[in-house]
Amino acid sequence: MAENTNPSAPIPDKNLGARSDADSQRIEALNSEDSQRLLNQRGVIERYLGDGESNHQKYQTAAGKLGLLRALLDADVFSPSQTYELQCLGIVFGDALVQECGVEWRAVEDQFGRDPCVVIPGTTLVVFPLTMISKRIEKGGRVDVFDLFNWTAAKIGELRGTVDRS
């Protein structure tokens, strides 16, 4: 496979960030600790909304969430070494996927720990938005969140179509 030279392009990954050794993974509903983790991570990003009511209204939409993420990335608010904050961007990115793509937040537990993911309901197809932005930034890339979102949404649609045809 040719190396992807476009740093804002999605990293080729047929499993959309899935960890290897899926046989040892357990996909579960979010527990109270998972839900609190997501809430805390959203809060890191939401504090950049400011006080304007229109910003908060826009943020209720997937496009508004992605717009906030783009503004933060364009302003280089977080450095490549700020993994936690970059992963907070990923949680908001995941919220946009949930809002627009009909996926649901779940948790995956395996030998590496427990992390939030999104799944296509009724399947074990897993996407890890938590690290979709952070991995790219940490490798020195730029991220166009709208391109990444459109690419991910298309892949989810393809996967959903594959499942529906089975």
The 10s digit of each residue's pLDDT in 58-99 is: 999 999 999 999 999 999 999 999 999 999 999 999 999 999
Q: Give tens-digit pLDDT for 19-38.
A: 445 568 899 999 999 999 99
Burial of 52 (0-12, 13-18, 19+ CB in 10 A): exposed
Q: Which domain covers residue 50, as residue numbers?
A: 25-165
Q: What is the pLDDT of residues 102-116, one digit of tens each?
A: 999 999 999 989 999
Residue 57 is assigned to a structural domain of this protein:
yes
- Tell me, yes or no, whether 11 lies in a domain: no
Tell whether 17 is covered by a domain. Answer: no
Ranking 11-20, 38-47, 141-150 by mean pLDDT, the lowest is 11-20
156 vs 6, residue with greater confidence = 156
Q: Give the number of other CB atoms < 10 A from CB of residue 148.
A: 21
Residue 123 has pLDDT above 70, yes or no: yes
pTM: predicted TM-score of the whole model, two decimal places: 0.85
* CATH number of the structural domain spanning residue 103: 1.20.120.1090
What is the number of structural domains in the chain? Answer: 1
* pLDDT band, very low/low/confident/very high, at 3 (cuts 50, 70, 90): very low
Cα distances (Å, whole numbers) of residue 22 to 6, 69, 151, 164: 29, 30, 23, 21
